[in-house]
Structure 1
Amino acid sequence: MLTNRSALALLAAWALSALASPIEPLVVQDSNHHLATNNICLDTKSDPPLELITPEVYLDDGIVVGFQKGATDNFLGIPFAEPPTGQRRLRRPEPFPPYEGIYYAQKFGKSCPQQQLTLPNGLNSQLIHDIGNVVGKLYDGITPDDEDCLTINVVRPAGTRPGTKLPVVVWIFGGGFEIGGAATYNGGVIVSRSIELGEPFIFVSMNHRLSAFGFLPGKEVKEAKVGNLGLQDQRLALKWVQTYISEFGGDPSKVTIWGESSGAISVALHMLANKGNQEGLFRGAIMQSGGPIPVGDIENGQRYYDFMVERTGCRGSNNTLECLRRIPYNTFKHAMDESPNFFAYQGLVLAWVPRVDGVFLTEPPQHAVLRGHVSNVPLITGNCDDEGSLFSISTMNVSTTADLKDYLKLYMMPTAKDEEIDLLLKYYPDDQRAGCPFDTGLKNALSAQYKRTAALQGDFVFHGPRRFFLKHRADKQNSWAFIWKRAKSTPVLGTTHATDLINSILTPGELMDYVIHFTSNLNPNSKKGLGIPWPQWNRRDPKAIVLQDSTLFPVVIGNDNYRTDPLDYVANMSLIYPI
């Protein structure tokens, strides 16, 4: 069973694994996001380094001043859109006007408003308080938020000049579409590694709107054509890359989009948007723990729009959407914080998630895959073995099969027939040895149905969409798959969601090398760096690289055919009953 101390340590470790140390600026940035016309001014309150290098890039009629750190030039917090505040709240992003004057791009911009994380009442109040403090302090310290948040960051090899035409990778952070920011990931680590491998590239990351600010659902939103604003922010940032990355030395025709969790889901949805026409915005895609999630029409989330209207006092307004734009920021934010987050009882049936809005997404993602409305670009996609464990700690009061059936009927498949759910539960038997964390026998039984629920949640949202995507697309576009199985011995959580980040973007590892090779050559294989030859995935003989806990064989080639029948059934249920 999970003790207070071990639960706190595990949750804190998970939170830390999702946060990299931000780059420290060498020069103080102006407090606002707009271009300054004053001369460069060093921070005289601290001792500057002996040799301070401030690289400059010309954008339009402006100069963007960055800083050099180690082997990289860094340009942080560049605005790419007008601030989505005031009457721009809950509207599609508008491009930032042509740059003028001098802009000090030496500090990350503030992240978009974060939804407050709360833990379920099933854990004792002191544990909730402790974990809340840990997570809260991490995100407040590293990703302070503000409604004026749409900024982009560029990290390149030091001294890169316009015309160099380096490949570009654009990173989209994860966080359940509720939390996170570009400042949590230090692009300097992977750029430095790309230089070491002789395959230098440029790293780009951006902020986008989250939760109710970025993914408000409802018929009012659909009628106003302002759904999926967080995805619209990302798309505008990709267009910014096409316009300006050549000035940093990048090649706009060699862009790979890369994300983890909700960032990976975003990558998949960019591949499906515009009926698969990527408009020249990218040539490759990398998805860590995310794919074409089973979501339906934006009106399926009407109750969350109504919740915001009720909690903000907009119920009596003649135009509730306009009311939500006009109310004070704190009023909007407080109401959003009271809505369910991914640690709520409903788990991964998220309140704030991309849905079919008729503009960015015109059909359910899995339907788009079946119809071939997919960007025909090479891709990498993979999962952590125990994706659902972290998000199932809230279900400890689900103690019987009858309870689990009620849970599924209430949240995951409210319109499914009883016999369909009964068949689903036969694929996920009431046997701790078959549950998640997988391959751990009778261990990690946080509650009677915890491992079973974790298996279901992980397969519906992560494993199922990945396998579905590959089965229908790998014969049409070059595809590589991976399975992350390290840290399997972690109590309760196993190889849980986001643990692969340590190997791909936070510190150098096999996955990081594969990402670098793929970004450079649209193939993860190379004679340089870590790892072993990685075969393409194909339906007849599905193979994946498996990164496991082993000193002798840390990376092996394995069969990607685990839970074939359950995952096929999950995919069919998702097609019929999207969230």
Structure 2
Amino acid sequence: MLRSWRTRLIVLAICCDSILATPSPRSLAPTVVLDQATFVGVTDGVTDKFLGVPFAQPPTGDLRFRLPQPNDPYNGTHTATAFGPSCPQQALTLPLPSGLASDAIDFIVNSVFQVVTPSNEDCLTLNVFTPAGTRPGANLPVVAVTCTLGTLSLILTGSYDGGVIVQRSVELGEPVIYVSVNYRCRTIAFGFLASQEVKDAGLGNFGLWDQRQGLKWIQKYIAAFGGDPTRVTIWGESAGAISVALQMLTNGGNPEGLFRAAFMESGSPIPVGDITNGQKYYDDLVSETGCAGSADTLECLRQLPFDTLNAAVDKSPGIFAFQSLNLAWLPRVDGVFLTDTPQNLVLQGSVADVPFVTGDCDDEGTLFSLSNINITTQSELADYLTSNYMSSVPESLNSEFLTPMLEAYPADVTQGSPFNTSDLNALTPEYKRLAAMQGDLVFQAPRRFFLQQRSDKQSTWSFLSKRLKALPALGSVHSSDLLSFYGPADATDYLINFVNNLDPNGQSLLKWPQYSTEAPQLLTMLDGIPALEITSDTYRVEGMNVLTNLSIQFPI
């Protein structure tokens, strides 16, 4: 099952539309002129690729822990035939508990998180994929992808190649240009350093600003590749999807013409609080690097050798630490990019008025609960929830949230995640229960809240992926939906339709209804036949309501 979903069908097609030139022979490298420079890319005869194009000055030296700075005008000749380096990634110890089935281990190691080398602070580059021979003036719509961690790893290793999206778009007669934007990653200090010192400097959320700068680059230069800067859709998965949501919330909801639509996989406005909530991690970093005695600790961190700082960052709690999704380095309220918590910004109407799609996998929390399998009793679970996700809740109010949460997510393993797997996959008596809670807290509940607040104000669609349900212990795990979008497959076609027409429907696809509070319907992706069906977004209402109320009042 897993192997079949990895299969990639590559179909060579020549578009006869007059906006595209005849595909170039492999021996003729595509070129594009930007400012006074010529960039030389690479082609396979179906897709032209311009790789590793810098879109901002290197965030190194004095520019470390500062907002990205635009490039000077390009000059000379540049070879754009290889991906640029990955931004620094925190060293991870993958959660592979004893007894985990080989299929689950294979998925985690090879389909979710891969080590990408080389990595470098000088990493603010992007990659442009166009239908072969596309000329300036073609005015093709653009899908701009924010890449981080596992998604970037798989793009760089070719597993999720933007060329697949472009090829399929040509086959459908709806050609698009695909741009992947690298940025200082969400779950690492280089992109999301957080403390009072950072706030006092008027800084923070560097990674989100990187993305904004990448979108500005697209506005300035994409026409040279044949793209239409007025028809940009931003797309992301996981941290990338959360980034897309936050790009919708910043600047009072004014997208500044940078995008006209948004597509989110496993990520919505997340329940985060003030940037000072990261103070303890900042203080640890300062102590670990010897900057504690400095009069200006932020400047001290800025001047450290990269290896020294990176080694200290590696000691911060990572995404697979015991605290799990209560991450050390997160987008947080900095007073500039995010002027309030994401949930509050949604309630205030600070949302870009553009069509959007947002969806989740059925079992978002399983991957992030493998680090917690030493929690085996309800008492231990209650202690974990109160100390980890409810640490800012006054003790007198603990029962207001904890009791209904434990009731809504009972100890019955048949009701836990992976959902609908009976009593299977119960690695411990509390594993499936905690997986259900964590998946809903960070993914499912914020998605539903976002849709409930916005579906009567703008065009919205939502999906639920239940594919790979048979994957042991993980089920329809976080990121498994990427296998459907990097097809060609049904999800690929919905995406391409949306980028072109601001509506995912088309061809002979199952009609995907818009989401509404009166009829909250989901496009549900299934294994087997039928592969698609329409279902109602009415599951676990009580539990998600408790988690949403907790998130609004006491963000992490």
TM-score (norm 1): 0.87
Q: How far, CA to CA, are the matches of 1:137 and 1:459 in structure 2?
A: 20
In the alignment, is the contact (CA less than 8 A) between 1:170 and 1:257 conserved in 2?
A: yes
* Aligned mates of 1:496, 1:328 — CA distance in 2: 38
Aligned to 2:525: 547
Q: Could you tell me how far apart the structure 1 residues matched to 2:199 and 2:150 are?
A: 22
| In the alignment, structure 1 residue 509 sits paired with structure 2 residue 482 | no
Give the gaps of 5 or more residues in structure 1.
Answer: 1-8, 22-48
Q: Distance in 2 between matches of 1:258 and 1:132?
A: 23
- Contact 2:51–2:83 (CA under 8 A) maintained in structure 1: yes
SS at match of 1:407: helix
Q: Name the residue aligned to 2:193.
A: 216
Unaligned stretches of 5+ in structure 2? 10-23
Measured in 2, the distance between the counterparts of 1:549 and 1:132 equals 17
Find the counterpart in structure 2 of residue 100 from structure 1.
75
What does the per-residue CA deviation read over 1:318-357, in whole Å, with 9 as the maximum and x for residues that have no partner? 1100110111101111111111111111111111110001
- Note the C-alpha offset of 1:307: 1.2
Q: Aligned match of 2:510 in 508, 521, 532?
A: 532
1:356-435 equivalent positions in 2, closer than 5 A: 356-416=333-393, 417-419=397-399, 420-435=401-416
Q: Is the 8 A contact 1:143 1:180 kept in 2?
A: no
Check conservation: 1:182, 1:207, Cα contact below 8 A. Answer: no
The answer as to 2:125 corresponding to 1:147 is no
Deviations 1:428-475 (A, max 9, x none): 111111111111111100111101110010000000010000001011
Distance (Å, rounded) in 2 between the aligned partners of 1:181 and 1:439: 29
1:74 to 33, 46, 49: 49
Letter in 1 for 2:544: L
* Contact in 2 for aligned 1:295/1:356 (Cα 8 Å): yes
- Does 1:183 find its partner at 2:156? yes
Residue 418 of structure 1: how far off its partner (Å): 2.2
**C-alpha contact 1:181 1:207 (8 A) present in aligned 2:** no
Q: Tell me, in whole angstroms, the C-alpha distance in 2 between the residues paired with 1:557 and 1:137.
A: 27
Secondary structure at 1:240 match in 2: helix
Compute the displacement of 1:489 (Å). 1.2
CA distance in 2 between counterparts of 1:288 and 1:493 reads 18
Letter in 2 for 1:276: G
Q: Which residue of 1 aligns with 2:140?
A: 166
- Distance in 2, matches of 1:180 and 1:453, equals 28
Aligned-partner Cα distance in 2 for 1:82–1:73: 25
**AA aligned opposite 1:549:** D
The alignment status of 1:109 with 2:84, answered yes or no, reads: yes
Paired residues, what number?
Answer: 530
Q: 1:247 to 1:479 in 2, by over 3 A?
A: same
Amino acid aligned to 1:161: R
Over 3 Å counting, the alpha-carbon distance change for 1:174 and 1:496 in structure 2 is: farther
* Cα distance in 2, alignment partners of residues 166 and 489 from structure 1: 39
CA contact (8 A) 1:435 1:454 kept: yes
Once the two structures are overlaid, the 10-residue window that deviates more, 462-471 or 67-76, is: 67-76
CA contact (8 A) 2:145 2:236 kept: yes
1:58 counterpart (22, 25, 33):
33
C-alpha separation in 2, matches of 1:109 and 1:555: 37
* Residue number among 418, 422, 428 corresponding to 1:447 in the alignment: 428
Name the stretch that deviates more: 413-422 or 268-277: 413-422
- Structure 2 counterpart of 1:405, which letter? A
Alpha carbons of 1:273 and 1:176: their partners in 2 closer, same or farther (altered >3 Å)? farther
Shift of 1:143: 4.3
Is the Cα contact below 8 Å between 2:523 and 2:535 reproduced in 1? Answer: yes
Q: Find the counterpart in structure 1 of residue 12 from structure 2.
A: none
Q: Select which of 470, 473, 480 maps to 1:499.
A: 480
Aligned partners of 2:142 and 2:231 also within 8 Å? yes
* Counterpart secondary structure, 2:149: coil
SS in 1 for 2:517: coil
Is the CA contact 1:446–1:492 (under 8 Å) kept in the aligned structure 2? yes
How far the C-alpha of 1:107 sits from its partner, in A, is 0.5
Change (3 A) 1:174 1:384: farther
Please list the CA deviations of residues 89-118 of structure 1 after superposition, one character each: whole Å capped at 9, or x if unmatched: 111110111000101111000010011011
Instruction: Report the alpha carbon displacement of residue 189 of structure 1 after superposing the two structures with TM.
Output: 0.5
CA contact (8 A) 1:153 1:206 kept: yes
Of stretches 49-58 and 281-290 in structure 1, the one that deviates more from structure 2 is 49-58
* 1:483 counterpart (452, 464, 481): 464
Asked if the contact 1:344–1:394 (Cα under 8 Å) also holds between the matched residues in 2, the reply is yes
- Superposed CA deviations along residues 505-548 of structure 1, whole A, max 9, x for unmatched, are 2x2111110000000000001126xx311100110111111111
Is the partner of 1:422 in helix, strand or coil?
helix
2:235 to 258, 261, 281: 258
Please name the residue that 2:61 is paired with: 86
Q: 2:501 is aligned with what amino acid?
A: N
TM-fit CA distance, 1:392: 0.1
- Superposition deviation, residue 119 in structure 1: 3.8
**Runs of 4+ residues over 6 Å off in structure 1:** 130-133, 135-138
Query: How far is the alpha carbon of 1:310 from its aligned partner?
Result: 1.0
User: Secondary structure at 1:139's aligned position in 2?
Assistant: coil
1:226 CA displacement: 2.0
Q: Distance in 1 between matches of 2:112 and 2:360?
A: 28
Are the structure 2 counterparts of residues 375 and 143 from structure 1 closer, same or farther at C-alpha, using a change threshold of 3 Å? Answer: farther
Judge conservation of contact 1:63–1:101 (CA < 8 Å) in 2. Answer: yes
Amino acid at match of 2:511: P
- Quickly say closer, same or farther: Cα 1:288–1:120, change in 2 above 3 A: closer
The answer to whether the Cα contact below 8 Å between 1:290 and 1:462 also exists between their aligned partners in 2 is yes
Q: Deviations over 1:355-386 (max 9, x none)?
A: 00111111100101111110010011111000
1:358/1:123 Cα in 2 relative to 1: closer, same or farther (>3 Å)?
A: farther
Structure 2: distance between partners of 1:122 and 1:271: 38
2:176 paired residue among 193, 196, 201: 201
Q: How large is the Cα RMSD of the aligned pairs?
A: 2.5
Q: Percent identity among equivalent residues? A: 51
Q: C-alpha displacement at 1:399, in angstroms? A: 1.2
- 1:269-288 superposed matches below 5 A: 269-288=246-265
Q: What is the distance in 1 between the residues matched to 2:8 and 2:128?
A: 16
Q: Match for residue 294 of structure 1?
A: 271
Q: 2:542 aligns with which of 565, 573, 578?
A: 565
Counterpart Cα distance in 1 of 2:301 and 2:311? 13
Aligned mates of 1:350, 1:306 — CA distance in 2: 15
What CA distance in whole angstroms lies between the structure 1 residues aligned with 2:471 and 2:111?
23
Cα distance change of structure 1 residues 414 and 102 upon mapping to structure 2, 3 Å threshold: same
Q: TM-score if structure 2 supplies the norm length?
A: 0.91
CA distance in 1, matches of 2:108, 2:549: 41
Deviation at 1:264, TM superposition (A): 0.3
1:464 to 2:445 alignment: yes
